[in-house]
Structures are given as structure tokens and as C-alpha cells.
Amino acid sequence: MENLEQTCASLRAQIAATEAQLAGLKRDLGIAEQAAADVKAQDTARTIAEDKRSDNGTRKWPLLGEEYKRYGRQMIVPQLGLQGQLKLRSARVLIVGAGGLGCPAALYLAGAGVGTLGLVDGDTVENSNLHRQVLHRSKNVGKFKVDSAIEYLRELNPHPTYVPYRAHLTPQEAPDIFKDYDLILDCTDNPATRYLISDTAVLLGKPLVSASALRTEGQLMVLNYPPRPVGDKTGGPCYRCVFPKPPPANSVVSCADGGILGPVVGTMGVLQALEAIKVITSPTLNSSASPPSLLIFSAYSTPPFRTIRLRARRANCAVCSAEASVTLKTLKSGSTDYVFFCGVADLEATLSPEERISPLELRKKHPKEVPQDGGRLSKEPTIIDVREKVQFDICSLENSINIPISTILSSASSSTNADANAQPSLPSWLPTELASAESTDPIYVVCRLGNDSQMAVRRLKELGLDQGGQRYIGDIQGGLRAWREQIDPDWPEY
């Protein structure tokens, strides 16, 4: 048995090394392809520059002949016109995040003819991105998202200038990046970065189009518009005005955990591009804008859109009020700690090491035995899978019991009202065989990544299922992702 485990470990190590080498080759290929694309873009730019001059070196029309054909359908829209198109061509827009929101936003802004488009993202393309991040293709898996996106955008429209920033946004670098742009689009998916983007935009006087999407719902806001100076009450509210306090860290759900429908995030990204075009082509960038509002989209509601009016700037806002405590100096110095401000869900410390077991240790403790002489198989351990049913239906461990974490936690509040001296009543979702006081069989809890399972273990112990420590209740560390890495390489990765 030990030899087989060593062989498996050796093969996993070889696979990991090969995958690392493959990732390196993909990065090298991406750099080479990017260099080739840059050369091609330079040739295109040179051709465009030559076309801009007539024989005597003067321009007869404000746009190139090809541009009139390319943008003609939008230029005849009364709200845009030739002047609006010229504003788009001279505009500089920065998109932070080249994912589900950033891809459609960049696609339509490039198509509309925005003069300069900057993209900020330090991530690389993964297969799990492709169902919704429409600028990326299968062949670009492993390539920086900004490079993959710009490759597509250049094929769509060679006229704009595309500027890649192949790193995650930091407080120290954000001001220097933002200062060269007229308008910012927040296409990120975590609170810390959202506050950073909004703060930087306000301090530099840049309007901000912010959106978010999860599962089947999305939100959209145009912030700091009009972009008045700090302390000017006539300016548009910022992200801190709308959300003075960040949500609890353990309540923030990512697309990886909560899921997302591609058309939902695509809808919000397209709406961001639309709002950006409206801001750019308005009579003046600092003109009086419509009252600030929050647009809420719900794909499975009727009607799917509704709007909530937002208040003006808060009198005590930490960024845009006269009492501001966040400045460019605090940003660049690092004294404004966004991760600390938003909190960190330290779920890894929820349970003690004794209450956690790795998939490999679990398999050693409860080997899957096959009888040689018709003898009796050893009893399978009790495994509670706390993923939601929709995930449990995708794949599950053999003989595991599905009790969703939402069901487990929803019963916690009702039990807190009970007499403190009384034994906690057992909830209806708990199977009878687990509630039996006679059983001391261990219970192992598993989830997708090893976070929800820890909360479930705590709840089961609060209900007294561990019988005062006589019965082992613990979680499978790392969840089903670790199970795939350590036990079953064929386990579906979703």
C-alpha cells in the first residue's frame, strides 16, 4: 500500500512539474505573440497615420474615410453625432479588470472608437473563465488576460491605442496609472479593490462607472459624476458614500463560490460601456449629471430592471467630504490599508488541527477495502457534504449525505432563543442515525474548498453531536479540491 501511495505521489509531482513547464511555455508563447502583434499594430498605426494626410499634408475631413464607414451607424444617432465621435476618439478610458465585466465593456468601447483603452489585470486566462469572459479564447489559456483581451480588440478595431498593465492594482501604483485617463471603469470582484478604485478616482477627479454581478443579479452605478473637488457637495457620491462600511468578510461570495451566468455579467459589462459613452459624449465632462442612482438587474425577475435613487455626497465621507482622511499621500504611503479595512475572513483558524483531516489521512484511516474471501467490508465513514444541492448533484463522494450549509446555519438563530441551561433541540434536517446517542462513529464534513465545512463542524458540536468529546467530528481540510489533488485526479473540477 505504501509503495502504491509513493508511486501516486511521484506521479503527481511529475504532473505538477510538467504543468509548470507547460505554463512557462505558454507564457513564452504569449510574449512572442504579443511582440508580433505589437509589430503588426505599429504597421497599422503607420498606415493610419499616412492616411490622415492628404497630398499637401492638410486634413480635409476630421475623420478618416474608413472611420466614417466604421462608425457611421452610431454617428447618425442624434445623441452622438460627429462631435460625440470626435470626443470618443480623443477619450482615454481605463478598465480595471479584464474578466466577466471588463471583457464586454472593453469590446464595445473599442468598437465605438475610444481613442485610448487601458486594461489592468494581473491574472491569466483559465478554462473556467471562457463561458463568460468573451474576449478570451481556448488557445490563450495561461496567457495574461490583458494580452489576450488586447489581441482580440486589435482584430476588432486597430484604430485605438491599447495599453496593458499586467499586474493587480495597488494603492501605491493606482494614482500614477489613473492620472493619464479621463474615465475609470471598475470591473473587479472584491470589496478592497472597489474602495481603492473609488478613492483614487475621487482624489484625481475622475468619474467612475462601477458594476458587479453574481449568480443571476447585477448592480451598476456611475460615481463621482460630476467629478467635483474633494469637499464640494455638488459632486457625485463615491463608493464610500454608498457603502460607508464594507460587508462582513465572511459574507462576501465570489463567482467561484456562488456561480455566475455569462449573460448576466455580460449585461452589466455592456451597460458599463454604455454609461461610459454617455459620460464621454456629454456636452462637458463636468456638466450637471442626472441624479445618482443604483441600477439593479435580476435576470429571473419581472421586470428585470429597477432603479434606486442614491443620496448626494456624505458630509462625513472619508474621501470626498471636507473631513476627508484618505488622501493621495495616505494611498502612496500604504497607510490606507484596504485589506484591513474590508477585513479578512480567517476561516483557516476556525478549527484546531485536531479537528481537521486531509483527504489522504482520511483514506489511510478508512481504506477502501475489497474482501478477498467473501468477508465483510469495513463500515464506510459518515461524510456530510454541506455544498448546496445544485453542486452536490454535479458530483459527490460515494455514500455521502447532503445537508446544505444554508440549512445548517439557518437553524442557528432559532436555537439561540432557547433556555441556556437546556439541551439544544435537534433540528429536523439532522438524520436520525446521526442524532442517536448510542453511535460514536466519527463524522467528517466536506465542502468545496474547506471553508463552509468548518462552520458546519462548529454547529454540529454546538448541537452536542460530539457527545462531550467522545465522538470525533471534523472537516476534510481543503475540501473536494484537495480530494481531487490527493485522491481522485478524475474528480470534476468546476
- Catalytic residue (choose from 103, 187, 342, 447): 447
The Cα–Cα gap between 397 and 392 comes to 9
- Nearest CA-CA partner of 270 in 166, 191, 185, 170: 185
Q: Is 238 annotated as a binding residue?
A: yes
The answer to whether 255 is a known catalytic residue is yes
Q: Is 190 annotated as a binding residue?
A: yes
Q: Is 145 annotated as a binding residue?
A: yes
Q: Is 301 annotated as a binding residue?
A: no
The CB density around residue 325, as the number of other CB atoms within 10 Å, is 11
The amino acid occupying position 413 is S
Q: Is 306 annotated as a binding residue?
A: no
Helix or strand holding residue 209 (H, E): strand 208-214
- Catalytic residue (choose from 8, 187, 255, 395): 255
The amino acid occupying position 172 is Q
Q: Is 187 annotated as a binding residue?
A: no
Q: Is 132 annotated as a binding residue?
A: yes
Q: Is 342 annotated as a binding residue?
A: no
The Cα–Cα gap between 207 and 282 comes to 13
Enter the C-alpha cell of residue 474: 471534523
Q: Is 56 annotated as a binding residue?
A: no
**Residue appearing with cell numbers 473536494:** 480
Q: Is 241 annotated as a binding residue?
A: yes
Instruction: Please count the helices (runs of H) and the strands (runs of E) in the chain.
Output: 19, 13
The Cα–Cα gap between 104 and 205 comes to 25
Contact 206, 182 (CB under 8 A): yes
Q: At a CB cut-off of 8 Å and minimum separation 6, what does 339 contact?
A: 192
Q: Is 374 annotated as a binding residue?
A: no
How far CA 227 is from CA of 83, 233, 236, 278, in Å, comes to 22, 11, 6, 15
Binding residues for ATP: 100, 121, 128-132, 145, 189-190
Binding residues: 100, 121, 128-132, 145, 189-190, 238, 241, 317, 320
**Which of the residues are catalytic?**
255, 447
Binding residues for Zn(2+): 238, 241, 317, 320
